[in-house]
């Protein structure tokens, strides 16, 4: 509970700073000036875009209580909320997976890719210590089926390397769960296909900012 309280305080501070920016300056202040956007649409269809709408915020996040997964998810939540300058995103970690919008798990191995209809699997990132994947499915009406499911699983036997890998791969997969459905072509970006550090570059920040100022074509299934 203390960890959840600390997370809530950190997210509130990030949101307050973003709101102050939004109130004092125009919408142009919502974007990093030096970033270059990469693609975030559904792979194979440039028209299909998803982001969590304001009506679903705070987005409910469940992290399986396994090892350091919850701590890494907490860090990822603060990292991505802090990328916004104008209060476009609110997140809430919950203790029950029922009703969650995003579910993050720590299996021994990655599960099979889910069957149709319209599965979208993004990531399968590897740094020879762990692998991650985020699965998104659309229903027959074209709505995103909740929850988005992210997985991070060990790949090597070096526990220290695996722990370090989890630190940035969890943050990477969380970017996918927020709607960044493609990878950056730049190796230094967190959303590169094989991330090497848990830092958001100007490109990562600008791309998520742009996504959350883009009208989505895909809506989540009702709560």
**What does residue 60 show for φ and ψ, rounded to 5 degrees?**
-90, 125
Domains identified in the chain, total number: 1
How much is the pTM? 0.87
Task: Kindly state whether residue 218 falls inside one of the protein's structural domains.
Answer: no
> In b/e form, how buried is each residue of 113-143, taking b as 16+ CB within 10 angstroms?
eeeeeeebbbbebebebbbbbbbbbbeeeee
Six token digits for residue 37: 């956007």
* Full pLDDT tens readout for the chain, 223 residues: 544 444 444 444 444 444 444 443 456 899 999 999 999 998 888 889 999 999 999 999 999 999 899 999 999 999 999 999 999 999 999 999 999 999 999 999 999 887 766 556 765 566 789 999 999 998 888 899 999 999 999 988 888 889 989 999 999 999 999 999 999 999 999 999 999 888 999 999 999 999 999 999 999 999 9
149: enclosing H helix or E strand? strand 148-154
Task: Kindly state whether residue 50 falls inside one of the protein's structural domains.
Answer: yes
Mark out the alpha helices in 114-201 (DSSP H runs).
Answer: 159-177
Task: Kindly state whether residue 159 falls inside one of the protein's structural domains.
Answer: yes
pLDDT of residue 22: 41
Task: Kindly state whether residue 165 falls inside one of the protein's structural domains.
Answer: yes
pLDDT of residue 116: 65
pLDDT of residue 26: 57
In angstroms, rounded to a whole number, what is the distance separating the alpha carbons of residues 103 and 56?
15
Task: Kindly state whether residue 217 falls inside one of the protein's structural domains.
Answer: no
Task: Look up the domain containing 15 and give its range.
Answer: 2-211
Six token digits for residue 97: 């997976």
pLDDT of residue 8: 46
DSSP labels, 44-66: T-TT--B---GGGPSEEEEE--S
Q: Tell which residue, 175, 187, 162, has the closest CA to residue 211.
A: 175
Task: Kindly state whether residue 86 falls inside one of the protein's structural domains.
Answer: yes
Task: Kindly state whether residue 216 falls inside one of the protein's structural domains.
Answer: no
CATH of the domain at 41: 3.40.390.10
Task: Kindly state whether residue 221 falls inside one of the protein's structural domains.
Answer: no
């Amino acid at each position: 509970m203390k960890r959840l309280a600390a997370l809530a305080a950190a997210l509130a501070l990030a949101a307050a700073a973003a709101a102050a920016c939004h109130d004092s300056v125009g919408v142009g202040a919502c974007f990093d000036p030096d970033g270059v956007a990469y693609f975030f649409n559904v792979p194979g269809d440039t028209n299909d875009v998803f982001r969590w709408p304001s009506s679903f915020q705070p987005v409910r996040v469940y992290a399986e209580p396994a090892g350091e997964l919850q701590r890494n998810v907490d860090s990822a939540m603060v990292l991505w909320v802090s990328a916004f300058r104008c209060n476009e995103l609110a997140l809430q970690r919950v203790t029950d997976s029922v009703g969650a919008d995003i579910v993050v798990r720590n299996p021994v191995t990655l599960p099979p890719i889910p069957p149709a209809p319209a599965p979208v699997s993004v990531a399968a990132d590897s740094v020879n210590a762990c692998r991650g994947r985020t699965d998104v499915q659309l229903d027959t009406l074209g709505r995103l089926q909740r929850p988005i499911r992210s997985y991070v699983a060990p790949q090597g036997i070096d526990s220290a390397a695996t722990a370090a890998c989890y630190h940035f791969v969890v943050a990477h997969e969380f970017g996918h769960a927020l709607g960044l459905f493609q990878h950056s072509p730049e190796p230094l970006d967190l959303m590169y296909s094989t991330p090497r550090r848990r830092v958001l570059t100007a490109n990562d920040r600008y791309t998520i900012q742009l996504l959350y100022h883009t009208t989505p074509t895909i809506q989540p299934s009702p709560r």
